[in-house]
Amino acid sequence: MSRFCTHALSALMVGLAAVSAQAEPLNYNVVNLEAGAQRAVDNDLAYATLFVEVNDSDPSRLAGKVNRTLAAALKLVKQQGLVKSEGTGYSTYPVYSSKTNKQDGWRGRGELRLSSRDFETLSKLLGQLQQPLEGGLALQLASVHYGVSDETRDKLENELIEESLKAFRQRADLISRSMAAKTWRTVNVNVNTQAFVPPPMPKAAMMRMEAADAGAAPAPLEGGDSKLSVTVSGSIQVE
């Protein structure tokens, strides 16, 4: 073996030994820990789904009835700048006779999805949409649920991340002192965010709201709150 190759091999072995020496400390005094923070935040966004269902023997005539109703509903929605349409949906399926078990018509369902940050305006609009529209049909209320807007969520999550990281460092300091270590260093850190939002409005509350909408005064929408949480988990090495 030449002198050049011998020097190169020696340098390589020294380099590998140095890398091994740097990696070796991670094999001891490694502690896994977790810290987190959570906060309740008022729901500032409401979502509502309404629908209309029609029976007819002619699928084309059926689609026309549903489409006219949805078009009339969208016309009302566009008059309210504080309420946004999240889209519509349409589906049909055959209807069978209970006596002959043969198809005797079609049933169509059209859906309208809305969202708004102005709960009062949305409540009034829901009342209007549940009255007969152009064409004589009215929408029915399928569900109402609430959530947190992206802007509010991002702002609060950033605050919770700072709080969680601070709590993580405090626990790391506590562990280091308890183990009579001089210091500690971070090995890895994972940040996880989670949100718990209230379920859709129960059917009983929906029925009360529909009854109020059929009368003079619209039922108020109560958004409640959601729980946002951030968890920081990871490993430290105490030295």
Instruction: Examine residue 96 and state whether it is found in any structural domain, yes or no.
Output: yes
Residue 211 maps to a domain: no
Q: Which phi and psi angles does 198 have, rounded to 5°?
A: -65, 150
Q: Which domain holds residue 190?
A: 27-44+148-200+221-239
Examine the fold and report which residue of 119, 147, 175 is the final residue of a domain before the chain moves on.
Answer: 147
Q: How far apart are CA 209 and CA 125, in angstroms?
A: 12
Here the CATH number for the domain that contains residue 96 is 3.30.70.260
**Shared domain check, 68 and 92:** yes
SS3 assignment for 36-59: EEEEEEECCEEEEEEEEEEEECCH
Q: Are residues 178 and 99 in the same domain?
A: no
Same domain flag for 89 and 182: no
Give the count of domains, the chain. Answer: 2
C-alpha to C-alpha distance for 126 and 188, rounded to whole angstroms = 50
Is 212 a domain residue? no
Instruction: Supply the pTM of this predicted model.
Output: 0.71
Domain assignment present for 234: yes
Specify if 20 maps to a domain: no
Same domain, 196 and 157: yes
As a whole number of angstroms, the distance between CA 24 and CA 18 comes to 10
Residue 6 forms part of a structural domain: no
Condensed to tens digits (0 to 9), the pLDDT of residues 184-215 reads: 999 999 999 998 776 665 544 554 455 444 44
Based on the domain organization, do 52 and 168 belong to the same domain? no
Strands (E), the chain: 30-42, 45-56, 83-96, 103-116, 140-147, 184-196, 225-238
Q: Has residue 99 been placed in a domain?
A: yes
Residue 19 lies in a domain: no
Q: Predicted confidence band at 219 (pLDDT cuts at 50, 70, 90)?
A: low
Whether 153 and 37 share a structural domain: yes
57 and 134 inside one domain:
yes
Q: What is the pLDDT of residue 221?
A: 81
CATH code of the domain covering residue 178 = 3.30.110
The alpha carbon of residue 69 and the mean position of all alpha carbons in its chain are separated, in whole angstroms, by 30
- Are 57 and 37 within one domain? no
Residue 155 and residue 136 share a domain: no
112 touches 40 (CB < 8 A): no
164 & 235 share domain:
yes
Instruction: Establish how many alpha carbons lie within 13 A of residue 211's alpha carbon, considering only the half-sphere containing its beta carbon.
Output: 6
pLDDT tens digits, residue range 15-64? 544 445 455 555 688 999 999 999 999 999 999 999 999 999 999 999 99
| Residue 183 and residue 194 in one domain | yes
User: Band of the pLDDT at 124, cuts 50, 70, 90?
Assistant: very high
Give the tens place of pLDDT for each residue, 138-184. Answer: 999 999 999 999 999 999 999 999 999 999 999 999 999 999 999 99
Residues 142 and 92 in one domain: yes
